[in-house]
A and B are shown apart, each in its own frame.
Chain A
């Protein structure tokens, strides 16, 4: 069964450093998303991406964040200058079309900012 993959599984970085989290969505999917989950809390929406542009972003997704689909398979989340409060599990998701199509989540990248 096709699945969303994410790399790395765990990223440790120093405060102020840039990180890039990578995702490979399911191949025929057109909609891509990033969510995050701070330890023990609920999953929070960051951004949705369709047709090479951002469809929607949350208030969390400020100027420090950016997303990109650099080629036909990868979808990346960049945090330019990490803060301690960026420590969380970051999940990539994808869906085939829109509306009621299921969003399939990857296994996540645990980001630890020291």
Chain B
């Protein structure tokens, strides 16, 4: 019940294309849903985050869509650039469990020029 399932595991997209990553969760106690971007050898860096009372959030080229009833959320990267090549992790936070972040398995995105 604590798991967050993420798909796909990897993604190749052409420069200028759209990258879409999907996540699903079971635990309704999750109250905050961040996406992190990680480059090799670095720590995860927050990209964008959403609360469950909002269905969509957009920041620049990055958009989160959130479907509370389906317990699913997704990240859309518009106009993908080679610099977006990284591993993306969705996560879900549980305030009642010490703000524990449960991460998805990660999606390795490669943007081809």
Contacts and interface: CB of A to CB of B under 8 A. Distances in A.
Contacts of A103: 34, 46, 93, 99, 101
Contact of B99 (A91, A95, A104): A95
Contacts of A58: 100
Interface stretch (B12-20, B37-45, B56-64, B65-73): B37-45
Contact of A99 (B42, B91, B99): B99
A82 to B, nearest CB: 21
Interface stretch (A12-20, A37-45, A67-75): A37-45
Chain A contact residues: helix, strand, loop or mixed: strand
Contacts of B100: 45, 48, 56, 58
A50 interface: yes
A107 B43 contact: yes
B113 interface: no
B51 A43 contact: no
A15 B49 CA distance: 39
A48 B44 CA distance: 17
Contacts of B49: 100, 102
B59 to A, nearest CB: 13
A65 interface: no
B37 to A, nearest CB: 11
Contacts of B99: 31, 33, 48, 55-56, 95, 98-99, 103
Interface in B19-47: 31-32, 34, 36, 42-46
B98 interface: yes
Given A45-B103, A99-B95, A106-B43, 20 more contacts: A31-B99, A33-B99, A33-B101, A41-B105, A42-B89, A42-B103, A42-B106, A43-B36, A43-B101, A48-B98, A55-B98, A95-B99, A99-B93, A100-B49, A102-B34, A102-B49, A103-B46, A104-B46, A107-B42, A108-B43
